[in-house]
Amino acid sequence: MERALTTSCSLRCVPFAHPARHPRAARAPLLRAMASPVDQSLNPLVASLRPSATVQLTDTAVRLREAGVDVVALAAGEPDAPTPAAVCAAGIEAIASGLTRYTPNNGTAPLRAAIAKKLAAENDMIVDPAQVVVSNGAKQAVWQALLATCGPGDQVLIPAPYWVSYPEMARLAGATPVVLPCPAAEGFLLTPRRLASALTPASRLLILCSPSNPTGAVYPEATLRALAEVVAAHPRLLVLSDEIYEYVVFPPARHVSFASLPGMAHRTLTVNGFSKAYAMTGWRLGYLAAPPTFATAAGVVQSQCTSGASSIAQHAALAALGLGPHGGDPVARMVAAFRERRDYVVARLRAIPGVVLDAPDGAFYVFPDASALVGPGAEAPGFGPVPTVAELCRYILEVAHVVVVPGEAFGEPACFRISYATSMEQLEKGLDRIAAALAPEKLQRPSDVAA
Ligand SMILES: Cc1ncc(COP(=O)(O)O)c(C=O)c1O
C-alpha cells in the first residue's frame, strides 16, 4: 500500500517539481502543500486488525530466500502438489473458448449445480444450487457468511486453537469474538459442556473447523452430534462449518458435515473450496452453502465487493469436481503422501525431549506443545533467553533457518504449527535442523536451571 501511494504521488508530482524547470521559489508553495498534514486516522475496526501471522511468515521466508539464505519453510498453508492436469487444461480451455467475461454474481449455473450435486453425494447435504455462493476463495466465503449473520452486539464463539482469520473477521464485522479454549488433552476439540457453558443470549455464530487448521484435529461424528444437541437448544445460534480440509482426512477418521446432522441444515453455513482439496490455492475459488436467507445475503455482500469469482477458475473447478468422488486419483495420491509425511514428522518431533504431540487425523499440520522448552531460565547461547514459544520460533528461524508459526497466532501460545505440505527432502532437512537447535546442549531448558 505504502509503495502504491508513493508511486501514484510521484507520477503526479514529478512534472511540476522537476528542479531543472522550476526554480526553488516557484516550488516552495507546492512543497508546503505536500508537507501539510493529512488526517492519517483509519477506520477503528481496521486500525485494530492484526495482519495474518501465517501470511507474514510466508513473506519472511520468501525475503530470506531472496537474500540467499537457505531457508526451510514449514509455514505454508497450501499443498505442494501441482494442480491436477485436467483442471489446468480446463482453465486453458476456458481462456481459449472465450469464457473470459463476468459470470453471474453467485457463480455459473453449471458450477453451482455441480457443487450441489457433490454436497448431496458426499456430504449428505440437500441444497438447491440457489443456496450456493461461489467466491474468490473460501476466505471470502467465511467473511461474507460472518458479515451476513453477525453485527454489533453479537458474539461469535470460536474454539481455540483457531484459524487466524476468524477472530479478526468477527471484529471487522463489528461482532465480539468469544474464544473457547480447547486444550490438547481434549484433542483440541470443543466439548458440548464447554459450548453450553459459553452460550449467552448474544451468542449468534459458532465457528467449527474440521479438519482443523492449525491442529489437524478431526471431529468425530459422536462429538458433532452432541454439539448439535447443545446448538439446537439455542434458537438464535447459527454454525459456520469450515470444511476446506475435508478431503485431507486419514482413515479410520472420517469427515462429517455439520449441516448433515439432524436439525442442523437450516442453521448451518458450510464453507468449502478448491484451494486445499485440489491444490488450487492460486485459482482463488471457494463457496458457501447456506440456508436461503443467508446465502442470498452473502451474495448481496459479494455483489457490492467483488462480483463473481474468476470465470476461468470456475470452469476449471467444474473439471476438478469431475475428477471423481472425493477428488479421484490425484487427491487420493496427495492424501497418501500427506499421511506418510505426517507419520514422519510426528515421529521426529516426539524424539525431541520436551516436545509433546499426538498424531492428528487430518489437514497437513501438526501442532506440538513446546511449553516445556521455554520459560524463566530457558536460554540459547548466542541467542539469549527463550521465555515463550513465540521466541522459540524466532530462535528456530534465526539459528536453524526454519520457518514455523507460533501458536499464539492461533490462540494457543504453548504450541507452534508445522505445515508438512512440502517435500520429504525439505521435511528431513527442516527437522534435522530443528532437532539440532532444540537439543539440550544447544537450548538450556528451564528445568535445567531449576535442577
Ligand atoms: C481453515 C481455513 N479456512 C479457509 C481458508 C481459506 O482458503 P482459501 O485459500 O480458499 O481462501 C484457509 C486457508 O488457509 C483455512 O486454513
Q: Go through the domains of the chain in sequence order and give each one's CATH number.
A: 2-38 (no CATH), 53-77+329-450 (3.90.1150.10), 85-323 (3.40.640.10)
Q: Considering the entire predicted model, what is its pTM?
A: 0.90
Q: Is the CB of 209 under 6 A from ligand 1?
A: yes
Whole-angstrom distance, CA of residue 393 vs CA of residue 139: 26
Residues 6+ apart with CB under 8 A from 128: 116, 292
CB 227 within 8 A of CB 259: no
Q: Is the CB of 422 under 6 A from ligand 1?
A: no
What pLDDT shows up at residue 76? 84
Using the mean position of ligand 1's atoms as its centre, give its distance from the Cα of residue 28 in Å: 51
Q: Whose CA is nearest to atom 7 of ligand 1?
A: 138
Share of the chain above pLDDT 90, in %: 84
Name the more confident of 222 and 30: 222
Cβ neighbours, 10 Å, residue 4: 8
Q: Is the CB of 56 under 6 A from ligand 1?
A: no
What pLDDT shows up at residue 83? 96
| Site of grid cell 514428522 | 345
Q: Is the CB of 400 under 6 A from ligand 1?
A: no
What pLDDT shows up at residue 61? 79
C-alpha distances (whole Å) from 363 to each of 75, 142, 172, 255 are: 13, 18, 27, 11
pLDDT (tens digit, 9 = 90+) per residue, 74-107?
998 899 999 999 999 999 999 999 999 999 999 9
Q: Looking at the predicted structure, is the pLDDT value of residue 350 above 80?
A: yes
Q: Is the CB of 426 under 6 A from ligand 1?
A: no
Q: Which atom belonging to ligand 1 lies closest to the Cα atom of 363? A: 16
Using the mean position of ligand 1's atoms as its centre, give its distance from the Cα of residue 89 in Å: 24
For the chain, report the end-to-end CA distance as a whole number of angstroms: 51
Q: Is the CB of 368 under 6 A from ligand 1?
A: no
pLDDT (tens digit, 9 = 90+) per residue, 48-79?
887 777 777 777 778 888 999 999 999 988 99
Average pLDDT over residues 160-181: 96
pLDDT band at 449 (very low <50, low <70, confident <90, very high): low
Please name every residue paired with 270 in a beta bridge, in sequence order, or none if there are none: 241, 289
Q: Looking at the predicted structure, is the pLDDT value of residue 14 above 60?
A: no
Q: Is the CB of 430 under 6 A from ligand 1?
A: no
pLDDT (tens digit, 9 = 90+) per residue, 418-441?
999 999 999 999 999 999 999 999
Test site for ligand 1: of 244, 288, 314, most ligand atoms within 8 A of the Cβ: 244
Q: Is the CB of 273 under 6 A from ligand 1?
A: yes
Q: Looking at the predicted structure, is the pLDDT value of residue 8 above 80?
A: no
Q: Is the CB of 216 under 6 A from ligand 1?
A: no
Q: Whose CA is nearest to atom 16 of ligand 1?
A: 213
Q: Which atom belonging to ligand 1 lies closest to the Cα atom of 139? A: 11
**CA nearest to 215, candidates 195, 196, 188, 252:** 188
